């Protein structure tokens, strides 16, 4: 079992709230890396979206002014903000590095400085002479003329912060959480969604309208396999079915009124492996309902179904976290692979993970992330994949 609450964007949904306009976006496009952040134009008729590799996509009235796509960077891009005149924008990386384009000036960064949690979002001041960075734990860092109006570093959210947006006068900002909770600071006003109101749609970023009376939340579609081949010979229709079955379970921790870790997939115990083997059972794979992740590896290895970390997984595979199958400390978590991106990044569906807003564990989306970066992203490496 592990606590994972990282979310990304699979390329098909920008949801508008308040007076935010709906603008055509990713329909019909194929991305090499997942889109992770966005920023609005000053006129409110367009926005930019950036991908984890630093690629930038412009929609509506937003002009393209350059990107980090194709450039080697130390950490994935996670956030962006636009200059007030729409003639530039900043990109921020997970290590706190900041990249400026167009007429957007550079005012400093957290690059090379120790962080408790990775940077996940940024916002610019109204005059373009400063910006804020926000980390996953809700900590806020101000640069240039950006003022500090509070943070969520000491707020028990039960999930991670994923982005921020500033009010028009710069005297406040919103922080958005992975479950679509929006937290206002300074003179920012909340327009919803409610922090603890289901269904907790996975959210990757927030951008405000120019008048501050609305904002957009960048949300993944339920689980898209458009970035993998539907006819993948590895798992084919069975793999796609496994993804759909796993995705149907997304939601809060099952009722544990009968005892700790009680769940629908097996005995009352930590249930990430019970969940993964249940998914495989549902598509006809005769694997026992194991409660220990290492047992899943041993079963797959005996049948020639285990794969090394340099292999390319497919939807419906499972990813095994840790250093090996020998015991629960070395093999703490397992998840079902849902998406595989062209750059090798994966999105998974994890049982007994989370947390949900109330702090309970759950079945959740996780990623996208590169398997080689799992230690920094998930807090644990990957030691194998297994194929049903």
CB neighbourhood size of 37 (10 A):
29
Question: Do 243 and 363 touch, CB atoms closer than 8 A?
Answer: no
Do residues 51 and 32 lie in contact, with contact meaning Cβ atoms separated by under 8 Å?
Answer: yes
pLDDT of residue 6: 32
For 170-217, how does the pLDDT look when each residue is reduced to its tens digit (9 = 90+)?
999 999 887 778 889 999 988 876 555 555 566 777 877 778 888 877
CA angle, residues 224, 226, 232, in degrees to nearest 5: 110
Task: Flag residues of the chain having pLDDT under 50.
Answer: 1-12, 221-231, 357-359
Q: Which pLDDT belongs to residue 49?
A: 86
Residue 129 is predicted with a pLDDT of: 95
pLDDT at 379: 82
Provide the whole-model pTM.
Answer: 0.62
Integer Cα distance of 55 and 68 in angstroms: 6
Return the beta strands (E) in 297-361 as ranges: 306-307, 318-321, 333-340, 346-353
Burial of 255 (0-12, 13-18, 19+ CB in 10 A): exposed
Tokens of 111: 């690059």
* 236-386: CATH, from 1.10.8, 3.90.1720, 1.10.3470, 1.20.950: 3.90.1720
pLDDT recorded at residue 221: 46
Integer Cα distance of 331 and 382 in angstroms: 9
Which tokens in the block code for residue 31?
């991305």
Q: What is the DSSP string of 162-200?
A: EEEEE-TTSSEEEEEETTS-EEEEET-------TT-TT-
What's the sign of the alpha-carbon dihedral 337, 338, 340, 341? negative
Q: What is the pLDDT of residue 142?
A: 97
Q: What is the CATH number of domain 14-218?
A: 2.130.10.10
Q: Residue 143: helix, strand or coil by DSSP?
A: strand
In the chain, domain spans: 14-218, 236-386
């Amino acid at each position: 079992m592990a606590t994972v609450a990282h979310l990304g964007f699979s390329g098909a949904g920008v949801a508008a709230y308040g007076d935010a306009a709906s603008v055509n976006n990713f329909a019909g496009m194929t991305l090499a890396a997942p889109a992770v952040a966005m920023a609005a134009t000053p006129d409110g008729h367009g926005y930019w979206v950036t991908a984890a590799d630093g690629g930038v996509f412009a929609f509506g009235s937003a002009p393209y002014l350059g990107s980090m796509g194709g450039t080697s960077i130390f950490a994935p891009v996670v956030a962006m903000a636009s200059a007030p005149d729409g003639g530039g924008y900043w990109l921020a990386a997970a290590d706190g590095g900041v990249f400026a384009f167009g007429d957007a000036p550079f005012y400093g960064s957290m690059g090379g400085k120790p962080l408790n949690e990775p940077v996940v979002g940024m916002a610019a001041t109204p005059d373009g002479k400063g910006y804020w960075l926000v980390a996953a734990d809700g900590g806020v860092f101000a640069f240039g003329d950006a003022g500090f109006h509070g943070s969520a570093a000491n707020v028990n959210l039960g999930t991670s912060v994923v982005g921020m947006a500033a009010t028009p006068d710069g005297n406040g900002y919103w922080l958005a959480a992975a479950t679509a909770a929006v937290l206002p600071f300074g003179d920012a006003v909340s327009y919803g969604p409610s922090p603890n109101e289901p269904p907790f749609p996975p959210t990757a970023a927030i951008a405000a309208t120019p008048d501050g009376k609305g904002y957009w939340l960048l949300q993944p579609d339920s689980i898209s396999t458009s970035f993998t081949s539907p006819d993948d010979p590895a798992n084919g229709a069975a793999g796609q079915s496994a993804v759909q079955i796993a995705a149907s379970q997304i939601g809060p921790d099952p009722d544990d009124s009968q005892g700790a870790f009680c769940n629908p997939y097996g005995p009352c115990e930590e249930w990430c492996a019970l969940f993964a083997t249940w998914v495989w059972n549902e598509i006809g794979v005769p694997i026992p309902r194991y409660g220990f992740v290492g047992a899943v590896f041993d079963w797959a290895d005996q049948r020639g179904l285990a794969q090394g970390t340099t292999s390319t997984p497919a939807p419906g595979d499972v990813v095994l976290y840790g250093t090996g199958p020998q015991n629960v400390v070395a093999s703490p978590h397992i998840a079902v692979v849902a998406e595989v991106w062209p750059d090798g990044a994966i999105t998974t569906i994890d049982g007994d993970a989370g947390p949900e807003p109330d702090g309970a564990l759950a079945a959740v989306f996780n990623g996208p992330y590169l398997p080689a970066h799992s230690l920094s992203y998930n807090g644990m490496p990957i030691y194998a994949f297994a194929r049903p």
